[in-house]
Homo-oligomer: A and B are copies of this chain.
C-alpha cells in the first residue's frame, strides 16, 4: 500500500523547492505537514513582524509604551520562535538539526536577546542607562527563522560576491587616496576658502572624505568650485577624478557584482534542480509498482491522481486529466520515472480553466438578451472604438483633474466622469459573463471596479459631509484625489508596447519584494545603530515660531547648511524617521549635519552604509533587473510549457490568443469573451484551458528559467544514486 501522504509531501517539496530533510515516519510526516501549513507560516510572519515593529514603541519611540509592555510582547515573540524551532527539531533528524548553522544562529540570537532583555531590565530598574543592543539582531530572525529561501539566497549571493568586490573596492580606495594626496599637494597650500570661509583641502582625511562623497555625486559641483574659481586648470583634476572613480569604477562594481551574482545563482539553481529531481525520484519510489513481470516500474493513473489531489486539492478534475494526458502521452494508463519527474514542473505551470457559461441574462430572459438592440449593444462594447472612446474620456478626465476643483463646473464634472466609468463597468457586465469578468486573472477588471466604486463611495461621503456641515475632511478628500489619479493608469494597458514592459515589471515583482526584505534587514540594523548613536542630537520643532527651529535644537548646527536647508526632520529620533533618512542617504549621501553634532568619525557610519547599500545591494538589484529583462528578450517559453500547450491544442481545448489591444482582452483576461450572449463559441467545447504562460507561480521557477539555457543537460537526468542531504549549496570562496 503506497504511502500517499509521503509521496505528496515529496512532490509538494519538489514543486516549491523546499529543502528540508524530514523523517519519513508517518508521525513525522504529519508534523512536517503542520510545519508547512500556511497558518503556521502566517503566524510566524506575524510574530516576526511584531518583533520588528517593536522598534516603533521602544525608546526612542514613535508611540511610547511602558518598558514592561514591549518586553512582554518581545518575550511572547521569543516564545513563538522557540516553539517553531522545537517543531522543526521534531521534524528532522537530530544530527541534521545540529549541523545546520541556521538553527545555531537562531538559538544564539534568542539567547542573546534574552540576556540583553534581562540586563536592560535590571539597569532600568536601578535607573541606570542601558542600551538594547540585541535589537540589531532581530533581522537575523527574519533571515533564519522563516523559510525565506529567496532572502537567504540573496544574502549568500552577496557573501559570495564579496571577495571580488573587495579587491575592486581596494583599488578604488587606492585611487581615491592617491587623488586626495594630489589634491592636498596641489590645492592645500593656495589659501583657498570654501563657501563657509573654512580652509579648503588642507586636511588629508577631510579631502579623502570629500572626494569619496564626490563619487556619490552628493557634493558635486560644490567641492570643486573653490578650486575652479581659482583657476580653469584645476577643473581638469576633478574631471579626471569623476571620469575614473564615478564612471569607470562604478561600472566595474556593477560588472563584478553582476557577474558574481549570475555565477553563484546559476550554481544554486543547478543544485535546486538536482534536489528537485531527487525528491521526485523518491516520490516515484514510494508509488512505483511493477505491472508485469520484468516490466518497467511505473506509477498508475489512480495513484497519480490520488497524489496530485493531495498536493493540489484546488485544481479541477479536468485540469488534472490534462496534466495526466501530457505526462502519459502514449495513453498507456501508467507513466515511467522520467515522465513522473516532470510533475513538479507541470504543477508549477499555471493553467487557467475556463468554463463556457451562458450569460445569466441569456438564461433568464433569452428573448430580450438575444434581441437586435441587445446584440448591437454587445457588438459596440466589444468594438475597438469603445476602448478608444474610453481612453479619450480618461485623457479629458486627466485635464479636468489638473484644473482647479474649487470651480463648481469642474467639481460637478467629477460626477459625470464617475457616471461614465460606472456605465462602462455595467455595460461590460451586461456583455460579459460576470464570473469570467471577475475571474482571478482579470487584474485590470478588478482594478477598475475597485477604484471606481471606492471613488464613488468616497465622493458621496465627501459631498454628504460638505452639504450637511460645510465641513470637508482632508483625509477623505485626499483619498478621493488619489483614486481619481489612479484611474488614469488604466490608459497604459491600452498600448501594446507599454503592456509588454509592465508585464515584465510585474513578473519581476516577487523578486523585487525579496530585495525589499533585504533592504529592510540592512536598514533595520543601520536604523538601530543610528538611533543609538544620533538620537536626540537633531530635533524637529512643529511650532514654526520656536527659536530652536532655526538650528534644529542643537546649537552646534547654527548657520550650517543642514539647518539652513531645513533638514531637521532628517534625524534618527525614531524608527520611522530613521528609515526615511536612510532612504534619502541611499539616494544621495548627505550626512554633514550628523558629523557636526557628534564627531567627525560619525562619517564612518555613513560611508559604511553607502558601501553596503549603494555599491553592493543596489548593484545586485540592477543586476537582477538586467537579467530579468534579458531573459524576457531572449528565451520565450520553457520546453514543458510548450509540450503542455501542444497537448492543449491537440485536444482542441485552447482559446485562440487575441492579439487585439483592447482593454477587456488585456493581460490574462482572455477568458472574458467566453460569456458573450452571441454564440460564435457555441460549437466549442464547454471547457477550455489556457496557459498563463507569462506568470510564474514561484520565484524559483523564474530563476530556473533565467538560467535554463546555461544549465547542464545532465542536471535534468535522474540521479537518485546519491542519498540526499539537500542542504543549501555551499561554495568555496574564490
Contacts and interface: CB of A to CB of B under 8 A. Distances in A.
Interface of A: 167-168, 170-171, 174, 178, 181-182, 184-186, 195, 204, 217, 220-222, 224-226, 228-229, 232, 235, 239, 242, 246-248, 251-252, 254-256, 258-259, 398, 401-402, 478, 481-482, 484-485, 488-489, 491-492, 497-498, 501-502, 505, 512, 540, 564-570, 576-577, 580, 583-584, 587-588, 590, 618, 621-622, 625-626, 628-630, 633
Nearest to A260: B633
Contact of A181 (B184, B485, B576): B485
Contacts of A622: 251, 254
Query: Across chains A and B, which 10 residue pairs bring their CB atoms closest together, nearest first?
Result: A185-B481, A255-B629, A251-B625, A221-B584, A167-B497, A182-B485, A220-B587, A220-B588, A251-B622, A255-B626
A628 B258 CA distance: 13
Nearest to A405: B185
A626 B584 CA distance: 27
Contacts of A259: 629-630, 633
Given A195-B565, A220-B587, A225-B570, 5 more contacts: A225-B566, A225-B569, A229-B568, A242-B587, A247-B618
Chain A contact surface mostly: helix
A238 to B, nearest CB: 9
A330 to B, nearest CB: 37
Given A482-B186, A629-B256, A171 B498 contact: yes
Contacts of A505: 248, 252
Given A220-B587, A501-B167, A587-B220, A565 B229 contact: no
B181 A488 contact: yes
Contact of A186 (B478, B564, B625): B478
A228 B229 CA distance: 35
A324 B339 CA distance: 56
Contacts of A497: 167
Given A235-B580, A252-B501, A492 B171 contact: yes
A398 B239 CA distance: 23
Task: Count the copies.
Answer: 2
B217 A255 contact: no
A185 B588 CA distance: 27
B225 A565 contact: yes
Nearest to A214: B587
A527 B290 CA distance: 82
**For A174, A185, A481, which residue has the most chain B Cβ atoms within 10 angstroms?**
A185
Contacts of A498: 167, 170-171, 174
B587 A621 contact: no
Nearest to A634: B259
Given A255-B629, A259-B630, A588-B220, A181 B580 contact: no
A24 to B, nearest CB: 43
A262 to B, nearest CB: 9
26 contacts: A167-B497, A170-B498, A171-B498, A178-B489, A184-B402, A185-B478, A185-B482, A186-B478, A220-B584, A221-B584, A222-B565, A224-B584, A225-B570, A229-B566, A232-B580, A239-B583, A242-B583, A242-B587, A248-B625, A251-B621, A251-B626, A252-B501, A252-B505, A255-B626, A256-B629, A259-B633
Contacts of A540: 229
A587 B167 contact: no
Nearest to A235: B580
Contacts of A254: 622, 625-626
A79 to B, nearest CB: 32
A512 B568 CA distance: 43
Nearest to A204: B402
Contact of A488 (B178, B221, B225, B478): B178
A492 B174 contact: yes
A398 B398 CA distance: 63
Contacts of A568: 229
